[in-house]
Structure formats: C-alpha cells, structure tokens
Amino acid sequence: MNKVYVNATSIKSVCGNTEETFEAIFHKRSGLAIFERIVPNKRICIGKIKNKTSFDALLYESVNEILVKSNLRDFSNTLLLVGSSVGGMASTEEALFKDVKYENIDIQKHPINAIASALNQKYNFFANRSFSTACTSSANALKVAKELIECGAYKNILVVGADEICATTIFGFNSLGILSDEICTPFKHERKGMNVAEGIGSLLLQNKRYPDSIEFTGAGTSSDAYHIANPDPNANGAISAITKALNDASVNARQVNYINAHGTGTQANDAAETIAIQSIFSNETFVSSSKPNIGHTLGAAGAIEAIICVEALKRQLLPPQINCERQDKTFNIVQDAASAKIEYALSNSFAFGGNNVSLVFGVCHEN
C-alpha cells in the first residue's frame, strides 16, 4: 500500500492568503466582521473575503499557488477532487435576486460541480469528481484521495475545498437560530453560535515524499443515523470516526498531540465533540478551533483545517484559539501559540445528516 503525502497547500480565507491566514491563526487574529444590514433587524458576525474580484479568481489563485509550490508542470496527470456544500449557489442568487427571472440563471454554474468545471476548463485535469456532504465535503474528498493513492490508482490528487458565502447559507443558519453576533467562542459556556464564512483550501496529495512533506496517515468516517441536522448527543458517530481514523493511522490516542476541533461554537456541536474528545484522548492532547479566526467555511472547512494541522506539524507549533480564556474545563485548549513536539495531529469535521470525518496527519519518519 502506498503512503500518502501532503506536498503543497494553499488557503484563501477571510484572513487573507496562505501566509496571512497562518499569521492570523498563530497570532490569534480574526478576519470575521460584524454586518448590520444583511439580515433585517439583526447584527451578525460572518466571514466575507474582502476585495475579491470574483470567487473563481480566488480559486485560480489557489490552484496556481499549488502548481508553483509543487513539482508538477501541469495537472494533466492529476485527479481533481472538489468538496463543496453550495457549489455555484452565489452565482444563482446574483442572477435571481437581480430581476427574479429564472431564465437569467446559468444552470451550468449552479450545481456543486460548477467549481470543478471552472478549474478543469482552466487547468485541464486528468479527471475530476465533486463531493457534497455539507460541512464534511472536503474532508470526505481528502479521505477518498487518500484511498485512491494508497491503492495505486493515482499518484497525484489535488483536493480543493471551496465554499462562497451566499444568502442561502446566511439566512439558512439564521433560521436555525445559531448565527452569532460576535466572534464565536467554541467550547465556552457563554457561547452564542457560529460564524458562517467563505474560504478555499487546496492540498496536493502525492505518493512521493519530499523533504517538507507531511504524511496523511489516517482517515475515518461514520454516520450518526440520529438526526438530519443535530449531532448524536452521545457522540457515538464522532467517536466512531475518530477511532477509525486512529486505527487507519495505526496510532493510539496518546500519540496525537494536537486536535483541530470542528469547534463551531454551537451548543449541540460543542457538547457532542467534547464528549468524543474526552472519551478518547487524555488532557495531554492539545485542542483548538480555528473557526474564531476564519469562521465556519462549511464545505471548505475540512480542507482548510487539514492544512492548519499540516502547518502545525511543519512548524511544531500549536495553533492557539481566540476566546478560550474562560472555556469549559473539559480539555486542554491551546491558549497561546507554543512550540511543542507534535508527532500527529487530528482534524475533526462534522456535518448535517450526521456525517462525521476525522483525519490524521503526521511528521514523516526516516522509513
């Protein structure tokens, strides 16, 4: 079975490009902002990328960055896997809200695969597939990429997680009463909810190892089979996904030094994830959520937060969490960026429908 390596990464987030996003995360800065006029009579805190010409332009920038950082001349031998929860919804909304005429909607730009189509047109990938499992979309794409490289079906796979903010997600999460009016406070008693945001995370996975490679060692998935939107309060699904990921990576819980939590800041998610983490890991494992920095990027979250784990492993630096000063005394939340020996890092993603994905990344050893 082939090993799988993360050899190039790129982020576009409310905090900026890849380096700017890492700077924001390690220095506890947030790119989220308060908007007074999007939802009538309500203040919301969300993440809109400033000064973007178009979301497609950001996608191209992200993929270009991968090409520059990689050993590839082009993507003709690379499989593209995209994870997104809303695809081209923003394009549909723009056309529909302008004049309420359906005929002005470009139906090719609406679905999930609109992102893959735009990228494929520009870069001519070997083939492409798109996954949509709400907030685990790109985490699932990563798991599939890992399996395809392990079995020898592909040598190069680019995984892109991308979601553009749109009225559907803002008003939709508002209807559930879980949009916060301030920067979210995952795992805190006084939590007020989540911050929906847009973002892009791209990872080049390959079967070859290079000096700065990080190994993608484990992936696990499960279904809650409990509720269409709420997680199983006993966290059985989350526990199952984490356990499968650890088994796939052939590591035990004590070997995982850092967890990038799903950590949305909603009562239901935080409660279930707390149970899952506490039931598997000791208080020696550090935990943080990056959502107070970059918001909940929905289908892109799995890819972006996987990249944060990869960067933590490269820097041997624990990513801290904003707004964690008075957290539940449940587990070891990273207060400030701190050097640490990080052998393995785990990223959690949970979604509507009770879809759970956990991913494990590790530093490369000699053999």
Partner 1 sequence: MKINVEITKMALVHNPIKIENLNEKKLVQKMVLRRRLSRSSKILINLAHECEFETGVMIYGSAYGEITDTVSILQAIKSGEAVSPSTFQNSVYNTAASYHSILHGNKYEILTLSCGDETSYNVAQQGALALLKEDSVFVCCVEALNFQGVDNFNKCGVELEYGVAFVLKKSDKTATDKVGDAIQNGVPASLTWMKNLYDLCEIRKNVVVEIEL
- Binding residues for partner 1, per CB under 8 A? 40, 85, 87, 89, 92-93, 96-97, 100, 102-103, 105, 107-108, 110-113, 116-117, 128-134, 140, 144, 147-148, 151-154, 167-168, 171-177, 221-229, 236-237, 240, 351-355
Among 15, 166, 184, 262, the active-site one is: 262
Beta pairing class for 78-83 and 156-163: parallel
The phi and psi torsions of 228 (rounded to 5 degrees) equal -70, -25
Is residue 273 within 8 Å of 348, Cβ to Cβ?
Answer: yes
Closer to partner 1 by CB, 173 or 331: give it.
Answer: 173
Nearest distance, CB of residue 340 and partner 1, angstroms = 32
**Which stretches does DSSP call E strand in 304-354?**
317-318, 332-333, 338-339, 344-351
Among 135, 166, 184, 324, the active-site one is: 135
Nearest distance, CB of residue 171 and partner 1, angstroms = 5
Closer to partner 1 by CB, 167 or 340: give it.
Answer: 167
27 catalytic per annotation? no
Measured between alpha carbons, how far is 160 from 162 in angstroms, rounded to an integer? 6
The phi and psi torsions of 22 (rounded to 5 degrees) equal -60, -40
Q: What count of residues does the chain have?
A: 367
Closer to partner 1 by CB, 28 or 48: give it.
Answer: 48
296 catalytic per annotation? yes
Question: For residue 108, what are the CA distances in angstroms to 95, 100, 116?
Answer: 13, 18, 11
Nearest distance, CB of residue 284 and partner 1, angstroms = 29
DSSP reduced 3-state for 27: coil
Among 45, 110, 184, 296, the active-site one is: 296
Q: Which residue intervals of 8-54 are DSSP H helices?
A: 18-26
Our CA dihedral for 263, 267, 269, 272, rounded to 10 degrees, sits at 110
The span from the first CA to the last CA of the chain, in angstroms, equals 14
Closer to partner 1 by CB, 175 or 367: give it.
Answer: 175
Nearest distance, CB of residue 56 and partner 1, angstroms = 17
Residues β-bridged to residue 188: 327
DSSP reduced 3-state for 69: helix
Residues β-bridged to residue 171: none
Closer to partner 1 by CB, 51 or 100: give it.
Answer: 100
Residues β-bridged to residue 17: none
Helix (H) or strand (E) holding 129: strand 127-131
Nearest distance, CB of residue 117 and partner 1, angstroms = 7
262 catalytic per annotation? yes
Closer to partner 1 by CB, 140 or 185: give it.
Answer: 140
Closer to partner 1 by CB, 105 or 340: give it.
Answer: 105
Q: Scanning the structure block, which residue is given the tokens 């356990």?
A: 243
Nearest distance, CB of residue 136 and partner 1, angstroms = 9
Nearest distance, CB of residue 333 and partner 1, angstroms = 29
Residue 70, burial from CB neighbour count under 10 angstroms (0-12, 13-18, 19+) = middle
Q: Which amino acid is at 363?
A: V
Q: Which residues are catalytic?
A: 135, 262, 296
